[in-house]
Amino acid sequence: MYITVSGNKKEVKNGLTLPELIELENVEMPDYVTVSVNDEFLDADKKAGTVLKDGDNVEFLYFMGGGC
Amino acid sequence: MKKVIIKKQDVEEMISYAREKLPQEACGLIAGSDYGDERVIEKVYYLTNIDASNEHFSLEPKEQLQAVKDMRARGLKPIGNWHSHPESPSRPSQEDKRLAYDSKASYLILSLMEKEAVLNSFHVENGETEKESLEILNR
C-alpha cells in the first residue's frame, strides 16, 4: 500500500502500524512528537494501536515550546 | 556555526507582532533555505501561543501543521522557531534549552524588556547553547 509521510509518498507493507512507521522513519524522540493522520491529531495513548491504511497522510510534528 | 540572515522587514514585523501580544509571549516558526554555512530566513510564521502566558509558550499544533504544509508548498524548509521574552534578555532560558529538541534548528529569541528590542539566534545541542551570527538585511 501507499501512504504519504511528511509530504512524501511511500510504499509500505499492508497493515503497517504507527510504531513501525516511527521506527522506519527514524523519528527521534517520538515521545515528543505529535502525529496527525489525515489531518486528525492522535492522542498519545492511541499512537501504539494505530494501524495505517492505504492512502493515509501522516505528519510528524515536534512539540515546540519554551520559557523566558 | 551558521550565519543566519533575515530581512529587516521581517524583523520589524516580528517586533510589531510581539508588542501587540504583550504581556504574553509571542511565537512562531521560521522557514527558508540553507546555502552552505548561510541560513536564509525567507518566511516568518506567526502562531498562537496556547499557553497564553508571559513566561511560557507552546505552538498551536494545528497552526504548526498548516505552516509546515505552507512551507512545503513554497519550497521552503522548516529551519526553527522564534519567540519573545517580554521581560527577560534575548538568551535561552533553562526551559528553552530543555525543550529545544532539534539540534539542526535555529532558535530566535526576541527580547522586549528594554525600549529597543533585541533579537538573537541560537543553536542548542545537548543543553548547550551557542549564539549564531545574525545578519539583518536592509531590504
Write down the ipTM of this complex: 0.87
Tell whether the model's pLDDT for residue B101 goes beyond 90. no
CA distance, residue B1 to nearest chain A CA (Å):
22
Give residue B93's pLDDT: 95
How many whole angstroms separate alpha carbon B128 and alpha carbon B8?
28
Quick one: average pLDDT of B92-103? 92
Q: How far apart are the first and last CA of chain A?
A: 46
Tell me, which fold does domain A2-62 have in CATH? Ubiquitin-like (UB roll) (3.10.20)
Delimit the domains of chain A by residue range.
2-62
Q: Is the peptide bond before B23 cis (omega within 30 degrees of 0)?
A: yes
Task: Name the nearest CA neighbour of B41 among B103, B121, B130.
Answer: B121
Task: Name the nearest CA neighbour of B48 among B58, B56, B40.
Answer: B58
* Chain B partners within 8 Å of A59 (Cβ): 65, 68
Tell whether the model's pLDDT for residue B82 goes beyond 80. yes
> Which residues neighbour B104 within 8 Å (Cβ) at sequence distance 6 or greater?
none
Report helix, strand or coil for A68.
coil
Give residue A44's pLDDT: 87
Give residue A30's pLDDT: 87
Tell whether the model's pLDDT for residue B1 goes beyond 80. no
For the whole model, what pTM was predicted? 0.92
What are the grid coordinates assigned to A61, written together? 510534528
Quick one: average pLDDT of B108-124? 97
Give residue B91's pLDDT: 97
Give residue A31's pLDDT: 85
Task: Name the nearest CA neighbour of B53 among B23, B73, B80, B74.
Answer: B23
Give residue B53's pLDDT: 96
Tell whether the model's pLDDT for residue A42 goes beyond 90. yes
How many whole angstroms separate alpha carbon B1 and alpha carbon B104?
11
Give residue B2's pLDDT: 85
A31 to chain B, any CB pair closer than 8 A? The answer is no
CA distance, residue A61 to nearest chain B CA (Å):
7
Report helix, strand or coil for B79.
strand
Classify residue A4 as exposed, middle or buried by CB count within 10 Å of its CB (0-12, 13-18, 19+).
middle
Smallest Cβ–Cβ distance between A66 and the set B69, B96, B102 belongs to B96
Question: Which of B46, B68, B97 is the best residue to mutate to test the A interface, defined by the most A CB atoms within 10 Å of its own CB?
Answer: B68
Quick one: average pLDDT of B56-78? 96
CB contact under 8 A, A63 and B62: no
* Chain B partners within 8 Å of A7 (Cβ): 69, 72
Average pLDDT of the residues of chain B: 96
Delimit the domains of chain B by residue range.
3-137
Give residue A28's pLDDT: 82
Q: How far apart are the first and last CA of chain B?
A: 24
Quick one: average pLDDT of A5-27? 96
Give residue B26's pLDDT: 98
User: Amino acid identity, residue B125?
Assistant: E
How many whole angstroms separate alpha carbon B12 and alpha carbon B15?
5
What are the grid coordinates assigned to B78, written together? 522548516
pLDDT digits (tens, 9 = 90+) for B2-17: 899 999 999 999 999 9
CATH of the domain spanning B3-137, picked from 1.10.760.10, 3.50.50.60, 3.40.140.10, 3.30.70.1450: 3.40.140.10
Task: Locate all alpha helices (DSSP H) within A1-68, ordered by sequence.
Answer: 18-24
How many whole angstroms separate alpha carbon A26 and alpha carbon A18?
12
